[in-house]
Amino acid sequence: MSYYFFDTENQRYKSFELPGAKPHYNPDRPGQVEHIFLDLNLDIPNQSVQGQCNISLLPIRNGIDRLILDAVNLNIESVLVDEVSQKFDYDGQKLSLQLHSPTIANKRIAIAIAYSVQKPQRGIYFIHPEKHYPHKPTQVWTQGEDEDSRFWFPCFDYPGQLSTSEIRVRVPKPLIAISNGELIATEEDGDDKIYHWSQQQIHPTYLMTLAVGDFAEIRDEWNGKPVTYYVEKGREADAKRSMGKTPRMMEFLSEKYGYAYAYPKYAQVCVDDFIFGGMENTSTTLLTDRCLLDAKAALDNRNTESLVVHELAHQWFGDLVVIKHWSHAWVKEGMASYSEVMWTEHEYGADEAAYYRLGEARSYLAEDSGRYRRPMVTHVYREAIELYDRHIYEKGSCVYHMIRTELGDEMFWQAMQTFVQDNAHKTVETIDLLRAIEKASGRNILFLFDQYVYRGGHPDFKVAYSWDGDANLAKITVTQTQAASDSNGSKSNLFDLRVPIGFGYAENGAPAELKIFKVRVHEREQTFYFPLQEKPLFVSFDVGNNFLKTVSLEYPVPELKAQLEFDPHPTSRIYAAEALAKKGGLEVLKALETALQKDPFWGVRQEVAAQLAEIKLDQAFDALVLGLKDENSNVRKAVVEALAKIKTHASYKAVKEVVEHGDTSYYVEAAASRAVGTIAAASLEEKPKEEKVLKLLKTVLEEKAGWNEVVRSGAIAGLAKLKTSEAALNLILEYTKAGVPQPLRLNAIRALGTVSVGQTPANVERILDHLAELAKERFFLTQVAVLTALGNMETPKAIAILQSLGEQTADGRVRRYAEEEIAKVQKSIGTDTAVKQLREELDQLKQQNQELRSRLENLEAKAK
């Protein structure tokens, strides 16, 4: 599965376990579910499903006289066991069957449940044209992970039960129905068509799926197996552009995992209003239609490619090898996320993969520092969906990479292939991965799992370097700053790792060479001495950057400049840029300016642009503005974002030009609109007149409709920066109305929270009333947008709406997020006005100080 993540306010290591969290275990197994057959009729106008669920169960023991199934808000009409009517109790959550005859071990029983469901809360979703969105397609689709299949059919709804399945469904023409496995029959019946799909390989209930719509069908193939893309008619070119690499990915993953793609076909169905990015139903992945790229979006958007390979990787990790319990979800989600890295490496090279990994690490680090810290494997939670966070996706990916580093490439892939081959069509826990590694390589790497999987956190390294020229010794001091020495000298927070340290030399323009030593880092503070023949140009800590960590480099400026210029690894050059920016000054600025123009890898240039904005000298503008001509759109976007931090008339002019003249990239255009608002809102003497900015952003809103509303959403974000402007608020409110394209509307709703902070009390009331009204909408993404807006407000009145939304939602993620946003509001209303005023005055002083320092640096440079 893949979906969008939401960040909450910064505070060190809040608990993952919210009030009401408790240990969760799989239920006792009454027997083996062998087959599930759903025979369904869809009444799309009335949003209802009526049908029969047949379950074949092989009892595990004698004497079971009661079976308990999961079934939420279904109308249970009758229950037969071996064609004999049975008594049942149903409380709206659990269906309890009193068996006429107790079970006999290994004597199969056939359960037939006639049922219906109308306007289901979850599990199955009916999409149709409506008053405000008359062009919305008619579609029906399901979403089972984590425990939502029970909302559309009665079942033993936990991942420990694997069975074959079948779905026979009647739909009105011309709609088509797609499901797991093979289409074994179709039948026409008047205005309806019946589709009969059969999935012959065992899988859990959460991977059973149904997608119905008037789709265009684009056919491809891999090794003779059909590979099909289903999209709304008219988007065929976007489908090929977005999913066309699928057969090559199937080849790549079949080879990597040592197991040919296991199912008779692979379908990808792009559906409207999907509540995730994608979902890896067995042989039939569902994707959000927002992943479909037009020609301009495809120039610099690889998110879709990553999403496609992520869901495909699940066909092995998740579908072929199934987790036994949700607490082990990192095993599948971590590998699916690591497959994004592997594919990036295969398709675009090692530098791109390293930078992708850095992005994943930062994603996890943001959640760890800002939301909560937790072990990757835990069975204590309120709802299983809470586990689907950055710890299991991005941290999981980083852990797989560390395993690969520890074992070496050849041994790592042998281990992964052993894991897949030994556990195909079975359920697994984390221990099974460890066993496969040991079986394939002889290596016991429990030490790595103990440190990164079974407990929370990661090492925070501070690395200091000095050179003793008399003795030709390099001195490196490594401090694990996460392990603050406590009174009893506890070492529970320490990591014990063998870290490679490299000393770099470069001669006559040749690529740098590293002399590498491995050291065991296991104390809070350790000093290492390295005898070297001559002083190194630079130092590289954790050569290859394979460990998940944070690192702060305390090296002298010359070594950092040399590392930025010569270190062969892009992440090391990025760390050097960060360390240099902290030191500041004109010499550093010049080094970063050179890197922005000359570094061969766009990822480093992008990061350097961000660091240039951290140097509080007027000369930073001149260094940055050259980057607006960079050939790579990611770099241009980073330059625009950096110019927004400089907040001068010159930077305003530069980004305004991008807004007016456009860019080949949607993302650069969006960043420029945001930047215009950010700079205009800053209290500067040269502040452009508000009406001009409003007019400019209004023009973007009126003229720039395009792919997924990226550019117009940038204009909304720009307006939200004008926090004291009632006109900006009124314009944002216009775009929160029903009928506005959904991606733009969601961004406008979120923007209400940002713009609220400087508004008059009367306008804050208007915003609250509007958000209270929007909170009544049932659509998941609208609810999340409302929560985000309320969480950014600084009034206690936001809390009541957050509480009400949290109590009324059927979605566990919305419930959790509401609680996190309440804590955020409580924290922000503790910040009083006097403190804010002081902050503003301090910002003005900093600005004056910057002007003085810039002049001084110039004078010193001339004197030299």
Mean pLDDT by 10 residues, the chain (864 residues): 48 81 95 98 98 98 97 98 97 97 97 98 96 97 97 97 98 98 98 98 98 98 98 98 98 98 98 97 98 97 98 98 98 98 98 98 97 97 96 98 98 98 98 98 98 98 98 98 66 91 92 97 98 97 98 98 98 98 96 98 98 94 97 98 94 97 98 97 71 96 95 98 96 98 98 97 98 95 97 96 92 93 91 59 68 74 70
Two tokens at 710? 């990226």
Vertex 660: Cα angle to 658 and 661 (nearest 5)? 65
Non-local CB neighbours of 642 within 8 Å, separated by 6+ positions: 609, 610, 612, 613, 624
Minimal CA–CA distance to 504: which of 578, 571, 560?
Answer: 560
Minimal CA–CA distance to 568: which of 635, 638, 498, 506?
Answer: 506
Distance CA 342, CA 413 (A): 12
Phi, psi of 537 (to 5 degrees): -70, -40
Q: How far is CA 238 from the centre of its chain?
A: 23
The DSSP bridge partners found for residue 539 are 503
Non-local CB neighbours of 836 within 8 Å, separated by 6+ positions: none
Two tokens at 391? 């710890």
pLDDT computed for residue 510 by the predictor: 87
648: helix, strand or coil: coil
The answer to whether 195 and 179 have CB atoms below 8 angstroms apart is yes
Q: Distances from the Cα of 812 to the Cαs of 784, 789, 809, in angstroms?
A: 12, 19, 8
Element holding 194 (H helix, E strand): strand 192-203
Distance CA 596, CA 612 (A): 9
Distance CA 361, CA 549 (A): 8
Q: Name the maximum alpha-carbon separation found in the chain.
A: 100
Two tokens at 72? 């939420």
How does 46-68 read in b/e, with b if 16+ C-beta sit within 10 Å? Answer: ebbbbbbbebbbbbeeeebeebe
Distance CA 704, CA 709 (A): 8
Distance CA 304, CA 287 (A): 10
Distance CA 631, CA 629 (A): 6
Q: Which residue's structure tokens are 């001339």?
A: 862
Instruction: Name the DSSP class of 341.
Output: H
Two tokens at 61? 């023991």
Q: Which residue's structure tokens are 């040919």?
A: 260
Distance CA 516, CA 519 (A): 10
Q: What torsion, rounded to 10 degrees, do the Cα atoms 615, 617, 619, 621 define?
A: 60
Phi, psi of 860 (to 5 degrees): -65, -40
Q: What is the pTM of this model?
A: 0.95
Two tokens at 365? 């680090």
Peptide bond preceding 174: is omega within 30 degrees of 0, i.e. cis? yes
Q: Distances from the Cα of 674 to the Cαs of 485, 645, 696, in angstroms?
A: 44, 11, 12
Non-local CB neighbours of 767 within 8 Å, separated by 6+ positions: 729, 752, 755, 756, 759, 789, 793
Two tokens at 519? 């050291």
- The CA R_g of the chain, rounded to the nearest whole Å, is 29
Distance CA 357, CA 348 (A): 13
pLDDT computed for residue 863 by the predictor: 72
Instruction: Name the DSSP class of 479.
Output: E
Distance CA 89, CA 151 (A): 17
Distance CA 166, CA 154 (A): 14
Q: How far is CA 292 from the centre of its chain?
A: 18
Two tokens at 10? 């910064």
Two tokens at 833? 């006005």
Distance CA 701, CA 666 (A): 14
83: helix, strand or coil: coil
Vertex 749: Cα angle to 745 and 750 (nearest 5)? 120
pLDDT computed for residue 11 by the predictor: 43
Q: Given CA atoms 671, 676, 679, 683 in this order, what sign does their dihedral have?
A: negative
Distance CA 55, CA 295 (A): 47
pLDDT computed for residue 864 by the predictor: 65
Q: Which contacts of 408-413 are long-range, i.e. CB under 8 A and separated by 24 or more positions?
A: 411/440, 411/441, 411/443, 413/256, 413/258
Distance CA 214, CA 198 (A): 21
CA atoms within 13 A on the CB side of 726: 7
pLDDT computed for residue 8 by the predictor: 35
pLDDT computed for residue 7 by the predictor: 37
Minimal CA–CA distance to 600: which of 671, 536, 511?
Answer: 511
pLDDT computed for residue 462 by the predictor: 98
Q: Given CA atoms 374, 809, 132, 242 in this order, what sign does their dihedral have?
A: positive
Distance CA 435, CA 228 (A): 36
Minimal CA–CA distance to 292: which of 244, 250, 245, 235?
Answer: 235
Distance CA 432, CA 446 (A): 12
Non-local CB neighbours of 774 within 8 Å, separated by 6+ positions: 736, 749, 782, 785, 786
The answer to whether 812 and 385 have CB atoms below 8 angstroms apart is yes
First to last CA, the chain: 59
Distance CA 580, CA 595 (A): 12
Q: Which residue's structure tokens are 């949607």?
A: 666
Q: What torsion, rounded to 10 degrees, do the Cα atoms 11, 15, 18, 24 define?
A: 150
Query: Helices marked H in 500-556 — which ranges?
Result: none
The answer to whether 655 and 644 have CB atoms below 8 angstroms apart is yes
Q: How far is CA 386 from the centre of its chain?
A: 14
Vertex 359: Cα angle to 356 and 364 (nearest 5)? 130
Vertex 686: Cα angle to 684 and 691 (nearest 5)? 95
458: helix, strand or coil: coil
How many CB atoms are located within 10 Å of the residue 443 CB?
16
Distance CA 570, CA 576 (A): 10
